[in-house]
Every structure is written in structure tokens, then in C-alpha cells.
Amino acid sequence: MELAVVGIDMPIGLIPNIYSSLMCAKPCARDPRPATTSYRVLERFADYTFVEALPLTGRHHQIRIHFSEIGHPLLADEFYGPFGEIKDGTPLFTPDVKPELSNASTQVDDDEEFEEPAESPFFDPALPLRRHALHAASLSIAHPISGLAMGFDAPLPPDMQETLTFLQRNG
């Protein structure tokens, strides 16, 4: 069965916080550039979805940001939460940066302190995966000297395969 390919088309730029290099797709992003990611759903589970994503542009953290912005952050992503939330405690804005237009869902009080938890809250303790769930299954580039097309494929790493198998068995 052929699955439909869907696209996410949102410009990506730096969050408007001069002390961070994290990115966002909010209207207030600094120096936003066009970004498009196509994807198709491979398998659905109770709380997770296994997708194949293809970035059509090459922005920093593009897949992570696009899925975060549509409310589906990557499993165990330590920075990007649902709907563009920045999870590491970095304020989206700094006091000296006042965005002209913002639909930002997260602002952090400057007086709030952030402590690193003893155990990471980003992992689902029921799942084997202990890193964000992103894997480059294939890569195609032009050779830097000859210009000939080169392609590389990589199987799903053992921890991701183990997680996928667990989800297939347990929903």
C-alpha cells in the first residue's frame, strides 16, 4: 500500500534570544529562511508515530523543528517540545529582544531557575531509546571533485529497531 506524502513548509530561523543558537519556525524568528520537509506515516501507535521524513531544504535542526511546530516532537528530543516549545529552559526571548510579531507559546520568567533533573525527563522509561529518535537512513551527495552522484544507506540502529519492535508488540 502506497502511503501519502505530506509536506511541512515553514521558514526556520534563530529563536529571538541572542544567547542561544536554537532555531524555531515562529513568525518572530531571526533571519528566517524557507524550509520544506516532506514525510509519510509508516506506522501509528497509541502515543507515537513512525515516519519517514525528507528535508527538501537544509536548515539546522529542520526535521526536529518542523515536527515540533506541528505538535509532534521527536521522541526524546531534549530541546524541541510540542508546538515549538523550547524544552531546555532557554527563554525564547531575551529582555533586549522585543519581537514585532509573535505567536510564541513559551516565555520564561527571567527569575525562574532551571535545575538539571537527576534523570532526563525527555525519555519514556518504558522504551529502550535513550536519545532523540532521528536517523539518516540514506544520504545522497555529489562527489566534491568528480561531481558524480554518491549514495549511502544505513539500517535502523539497534536501539531504534528495539524501540520500534517494542512499540509493534505493545502498541
pLDDT on residue 3: 54
The model's pLDDT over 12-57, given as tens digits with 9 standing for 90+, comes to 999 988 888 899 999 999 999 999 999 999 999 999 999 999 999 9
- DSSP assignment of 77-88, as one string? -SSB-GGG-BTT
The x, y and z cell numbers of residue 113, run together, are: 531557575
The model's pLDDT over 122-152, given as tens digits with 9 standing for 90+, comes to 788 889 999 999 999 999 999 999 999 999 9
- Of residues 154 and 2, more confidence is placed in 154
Instruction: Answer whether 109's CB lies under 8 Å from 140's CB.
Output: no
4 band by pLDDT with thresholds 50, 70 and 90: low
Among residues 52, 48, 55, the alpha carbon closest in space to that of 73 is found at 48
Residue 143 and residue 3: Cα distance in Å, rounded?
A: 32
Residues 6+ apart with CB under 8 A from 96: 18
The model's pLDDT over 89-132, given as tens digits with 9 standing for 90+, comes to 777 776 655 544 444 333 334 444 434 444 556 788 889 999 99
Tell me the pLDDT of the chain averaged across its residues: 84
Among residues 140, 135, 137, the alpha carbon closest in space to that of 151 is found at 140
pLDDT on residue 146: 97
Q: What is the pTM of this model?
A: 0.78
